[in-house]
Structure 1
Amino acid sequence: MSDGFLPVAGEVRDPETLREKERAYEDLADAVRELLDATIRTKVDPADVDDLTAQVRDISAKLLVNAHEGPLGLRVSSDGRWRDPGNPAVGRRNAFAPPLKMHRDRAAKRVSCTFNLGAAYEGPPKHVHGGMLAMIMDQVLGSVPPLIGKPGMTAYLTLTYRRPSPLQHNLTAEGWVDRTDGWKTTVKGHVLDADGQVTVEAEGLFIVPKMARELLSAPMSDAGEFELFSQPVGDSPRR
């Protein structure tokens, strides 16, 4: 799915408090992300692991004393936009997410991000799992259509793996508009290794669903120029 799928939500009543809440939960996700990596790579004595496991479970229990019943879905962020904090690619509260940080060039209709993945994302020995690369390319390519005002859902995503993508090395994913047809946008992209060699080639088709078309006056404005919701800011978007 492409991002930029919903318009700006409106004015946040208390952005400073919400920003502090975001910081705390993002720090927690960062710590758990470190724990995930350490869990895979640790060589400490099993007796010590048993004690540490009990501590981790105790922390989980404390966090669940006050928790959502299920997935978070879309939430209003401190900048007034709807975002999905649990997204496994870019979600700031998801410890599995790298998380990816997109760089958007609206003039060139192009998106890129550089990432460096560790042990939790291993497929072939010392290389990134192909499924992880597919998810990353879905996110990167899906971030392109909003640049031309056509945020959409993934209709298809095709990948060609040219060579292994190494772990613990900087990799760069890029996506750009290939062609458009009404509410449909075909996007192409690739993953480059640190030497500039293509490791993955990708193509995706993204279609603006009917419910989103009703939010857009025309499929041509930039994602940041969508009309505002008239409803007060809350925890979930109007359906």
Structure 2
Amino acid sequence: MTDYGLDPRRVDPEYDRHGGFPVFEAAEPGPGFERFLAATRRLQDLAVSVNPDTATWEEAADDVEKLVALLEPHQAAEGVGPANRVPDLPGAGSLLMPPWHVTKFEPEGIELSVQFSRYHVGGNRAVHGGVLPLLFDSMFGMVIHATGRPISRTAFLHVDYRAITPIDVPLTATGWLREAEDRKAFVNADLRDADGKLLAEANGLMIRLLPGQP
């Protein structure tokens, strides 16, 4: 299993006084969760792209409501369910995240492979502009972990859109720590296509939590 997180207590003795994020262990929910994740991602694509007749919508709604009824009794607290805790799955097993895979995780920088789909389209088969800040913000957190800095929150995130981000093609995202000063960490990231063309780039400020801050 990919190790893409350091235990914050190793680098921050007062971590427990910061409030905020508990230490989440990697989960191993079994192959059923991977199948569920893949099927649900495909369902998201279909939900924003199909145009069936009324009867089919009714049948689909019945099936989804049955699935909700099946899963609802098993709701768990954050950090207990497997979502966002399975590093080997796309987006670490979180449907909130774009389906990325970590290909590099080092103090000098991180690298992700990511491929957007119909679910992420904002219009004209281009990835919605609001999806990219979500990707970059997630990357900023990974950069903080990769550099061994204590847990931090995003103070600001700025994105420049340089070209249309396409769907259904492999892309590469990279992130790195540009500068650090006390509680502040200035982070950069970019997104490129297979030919190296710059699609978007971001810069942001991550602030280490103080004791008692959530």
CA contact (8 A) 1:5 1:212 kept: no
**Residue 90 of structure 1 aligns with which residue?**
91
Give me the identity figure in percent. Answer: 23
Which runs of structure 2 are paired with 1:152-231 in the superposition (5 Å)?
A: 152-211=152-211
From the superposition, tell whether residues 139 and 190 of structure 1 become closer, same or farther in structure 2 (CA, over 3 Å): same
1:152-209 CA-to-partner distances (Å, cap 9, x unmatched) read 1111111111111111121211111111112221111111122211111110111211
- Which of 70, 73, 78 is 1:73 aligned to? 78
Residues 159 and 200, structure 1, Cα contact 8 Å, conserved in 2: yes
Amino acid at match of 1:61: A
Q: 1:56 aligns with which of 47, 64, 69?
A: 64
Count of residues in Structure 1 that have an aligned counterpart in Structure 2: 194
> Amino acid of the residue matched to residue 141 of structure 1?
F
Q: Is the 8 A contact 2:101 2:112 kept in 1?
A: yes
1:87-126 paired onto structure 2 within 5 Å:
90-92=91-93, 94-106=94-106, 109-126=108-125
CA offsets 1:137-164 (integer angstroms, 9 cap, x no match): 1111221122222141111111111111
SS at match of 1:28: helix
Deviations 1:43-101 (A, max 9, x none): 44332232222122112112213324xxx422487xxxxx8459xx9341x33433322
2: CA distance, partners of 1:180 / 1:174: 18
Which letter maps to 2:112? C
**Match for residue 143 of structure 1?**
142
Conserved in 1, the CA contact under 8 Å of 2:100 and 2:115? no
Unaligned runs of 5+ in 2: 11-21
Q: Specify whether residues 39 and 63 from structure 1 end up closer, same or farther in structure 2 by C-alpha distance, changes over 3 A only.
A: same
Q: Distance in 1 between matches of 2:212 and 2:36?
A: 33
| Residue type of the alignment partner of 1:56 | V
1:40, distance to aligned residue in structure 2 (A): 2.3
**Larger relative strand fraction:** 2
Higher mean displacement: 46-55 or 113-122 = 46-55
Give the corresponding residue for 2:43: 35
SS of equivalent to 2:122: coil
Q: Secondary structure at the match of 1:133?
A: helix
Letter in 2 for 1:125: N
In 2: Cα distance, 1:117 partner to 1:101 partner: 12
TM-score (norm. length: structure 1): 0.69
- For 1:130, what is the secondary structure of its paired residue? coil
